Structure 1
Amino acid sequence: MKGLDMAGQQAPGPVLAEGTERLRAAGLDNPRREARLLMAHVLQTDLAGLLARQNVDMSASRAFFDAIDRRAAHEPIAYITGHAGFWSLDLETSSTTLIPRPDSETLIEALLHHRRDRASVRSVLDLGTGTGCLLLAALSEYGDAWGVGVDIAPGAARLAARNARRTGLATRCAVMNANWTSAIQGRFDVIFSNPPYIPHGDLAGLMPDVRDHEPARALDGGVDGLDAYRVLTEALPSLLAHDGIAIFEIGIGQERDMPRLARQAGLEILEIRADLGGIPRAVLMQHGRR
C-alpha cells in the first residue's frame, strides 16, 4: 500500500482518494462524500473529526477498503455502517428490513399537523414496523403515548425491539412477530403502515441498491402494488379508535387508488400529503361520517 511509514501508518488523503476512485469507477453518485462517510465510520468519528485525522493505520485501511468494495457492489451505506438516521433518532439497520428513508418522515409530519395537542395521542399501532422508525418517532413526540409494532419477519421484529431499547422507548412499546392484524385486538388513536407497495413487474427496474440488497418481501406489493392496502384498509375500521387517524405511506401514482379502497372500507380521506420532492406520500384516513 503506497505511502506507508515504518509503523504502518498512512496519511488519510491518499487512502480516501483511492476509495473515491473505486466508487467513481463503480458508477456511484457522490463518490467522495460516500468515501468520507465510510472512512469516518471505520475510524469511529464524524466528518469534522475526519478532517483532523493525521494518519490511518493498516488495519483501518483494510477495513475501509472492505467497506468501499461493499459499497461499489451497491450495498447501501446504512447496511455497511449498521445504522441510519430517522426523524430525531439514530436507528440500527440490517438487511432483514428496509432502510428508513427521509420520505417516510412525511408521515410523522402529517401526524404532528393533525394532532397538535400532544396529549391527544395515547396509543399507536405500526403495521409492518420494520426498524420501528415510525412507531418510535411518534412515541418520541407524544410523551403520554404507548405503542405496538407488528412485523411478519422475525428478524425485523427483533431489530425493532433493539431500536426501542436503543432510543430509550422500550418501556412504552411492545414489538410482535405476527401477520399484521391477526394478533391485534383493541383500538388505537394512530395507526401507521408503510407496507410493500411496488408493483411486482417494477421490481426488476429498481436501483441495484434496493433491488439487490433490500428484502423483496418488504417491497413487492403484488401485480398492481395494492395487495397490502386491500388487507389493511379492510382491517382499519375494527382497529381505529372513534376519532383516530390512520396514516399510510404510498408509492408514485397510488394516490388515485387509495381513496377508492378507503371508501370501500367505510373510511374517508383526511389528507394526501406530499413529501419534500412533491410526490404524494402519506394518505391520512379516518372513520367515515355517518
Structure 2
Amino acid sequence: MLSVVLADVRARFRAAGLDTPDLDARLLVAEAAGLDPDRIVLGGDRPLDADECARAEALAARRLAGEPVGRILGRREFWGLTFRLSADTLEPRPDTETLVEAALALVRDRQALLRFADVGTGTGAIAVALLTELPNAAALAIDLAPGALATARENAVAAGVGSRFFPAVADFATTLAVGLDFVISNPPYIRTAEIGRLAEEVRRFDPLRALDGGADGLEPYRLIANEAFRALRHDGHLLVEIGWDQEGDVRSILGAAGFVEIGTRFDLGGRARVVSGRRPGSAER
C-alpha cells in the first residue's frame, strides 16, 4: 500500500538525518507511483504493484546514497516553473529567485520591448523566469557548455518562451551585444580553496565550472562588470547574485567598472543576495 511505502521511506530518511526527509519521501514515492506529489496523501490506500515498489526502493536508495532529489528526478521547480536538469547545469536554488525579483523591480514597463543577457545561464532558469514575466522581452542566454545550452533551450520551449530565447556558447569575457537593457548573472563565486568543503551533494552533482570563482571567488564579477558596462545602454543595469560574504567586494568591483547607484537586495533569510548597478546616462559622464 502506498501509505505503508511512504511511511517506510520517510522513516529511513529521518533516521539518515536528511534535511527534508518528509518532502523527499513524498516526492520520490510519488514519482515511483506516477502520482502528483500534492495528492499523494489522498491516494494513501492505493496499492502499489511490484514494479512501483521496486522503483520506490531504487529512488530511495539513491537519495540515501547522497544524490539530491532534483538530480534523481531530473528536474527542479523555480519561479513556479519546472526546469529539466542535466550534468552540465547547476541545480537552481530558491534564493536565486531574489535575482529575478530584483530585475523585475527595475523594469518600469513590463510590456516594453527589452533586450537582456543572462551570463552563465545553466538551465536557463533566470532568463526563462524573466521572459514569462516580460512578454515582449528577448534574452541572450550565454554559457560555456553546449550541453547546458541545449538543456536551457528545451526549458525555454517548454515554458512557451522559446521564440524569445537566444542561446550562445561563450564565456564570461566574451563580447556581448551592445544596447542591452540589463545584464543578469549568477556566476561561479566559491573560492577554489573552499570547493572541497562544500556539502557532498553540491560537490558531487553540480558542475565544478558553475561553482569555482577562482582564488578569491571574484574573478567572474570583474569580467562581467567590465563587459556589461560596455554592452549596456545608458541607464541600463547589471545585476549579479553574490556569496554570503562578498557584498562589499562586489560593490567595489561594480564601482570600479563605472557603475553608479550600486545597491544590495536581501533574500528571505536576510542575507545580501544581489548587487546591482546602473550605467550612467550620457549626461552624467
The interval holding the TM-score normalised by the smaller chain is: over 0.9
Is 1:243 aligned with 2:207?
A: no
Q: Residue 148 of structure 1: SS of its match in structure 2?
A: strand
Render the CA deviation track for 1:105-155: whole Å, top value 9, x for unaligned: 111111222213213451111000001011111111111111110100111
Aligned position for 1:73? 65
Contact 1:85–1:91 (CA<8 Å) still a contact in 2? yes
Render the CA deviation track for 1:182-219: whole Å, top value 9, x for unaligned: 25322210211100001112112211111221111100
Tell me which amino acid in the other structure corresponds to 1:107: L
Tell me which amino acid in the other structure corresponds to 1:19: V
Aligned position for 2:143? 151
Q: What is the distance in 2 between the residues matched to 1:32 and 1:141? A: 32
Is 1:267 aligned with 2:259?
A: yes
Distance 1:156 1:134, change over 3 A: same
Q: Residue 239 of structure 2: SS of its match in structure 1?
A: strand
Aligned position for 1:208? 200
Q: Residue 125 of structure 1: SS of its match in structure 2?
A: strand
Is 1:93 aligned with 2:85?
A: yes
Contact 1:259–1:268 (CA<8 Å) still a contact in 2? no
Q: What is the distance in 1 between the residues matched to 2:80 and 2:50? A: 35
Contact 2:115–2:182 (CA<8 Å) still a contact in 1? yes
Is 1:185 aligned with 2:187?
A: no
Shift of 1:47: 2.9
Distance 1:269 1:211, change over 3 A: farther
Render the CA deviation track for 1:2-49: whole Å, top value 9, x for unaligned: xxxxxxxxx112222222233234321232321111111222222343
Superposed CA RMSD in Å reads 1.6
Q: What is the distance in 1 between the residues matched to 2:119 and 2:147? A: 15
Distance 1:121 1:101, change over 3 A: farther
Q: What is the distance in 2 between the residues matched to 1:48 and 1:110? A: 30
The correspondence for 2:189, drawn from 176, 185, 197, is: 197
Contact 1:127–1:181 (CA<8 Å) still a contact in 2? no
Residue pairs, 1:216-235, within 5 angstroms = 216-235=208-227
Q: Residue 189 of structure 1: SS of its match in structure 2?
A: strand
Q: What is the distance in 1 between the residues matched to 2:251 and 2:3? A: 54
Aligned position for 1:167? 159
Unaligned runs of 5+ in 2: none
Q: Which deviates further from its counterpart, 263-272 or 235-244?
A: 263-272
Poorly superposed stretches of 4+, deviation over 4 Å: none
Shift of 1:97: 1.2
Aligned position for 1:116? 108
Aligned position for 1:279? 271
Tell me which amino acid in the other structure corresponds to 1:216: L
Aligned position for 2:27? 37
Tell me which amino acid in the other structure corresponds to 2:49: D
Q: Residue 17 of structure 2: SS of its match in structure 1?
A: coil
Q: Residue 59 of structure 1: SS of its match in structure 2?
A: helix
Aligned position for 1:49? 39
Q: What is the distance in 2 between the residues matched to 1:121 and 1:180? A: 25
Distance 1:42 1:275, change over 3 A: same
Contact 2:251–2:262 (CA<8 Å) still a contact in 1? no
Tell me which amino acid in the other structure corresponds to 1:194: N
Shift of 1:269: 4.0
Distance 1:18 1:228, change over 3 A: same
Shift of 1:160: 0.5
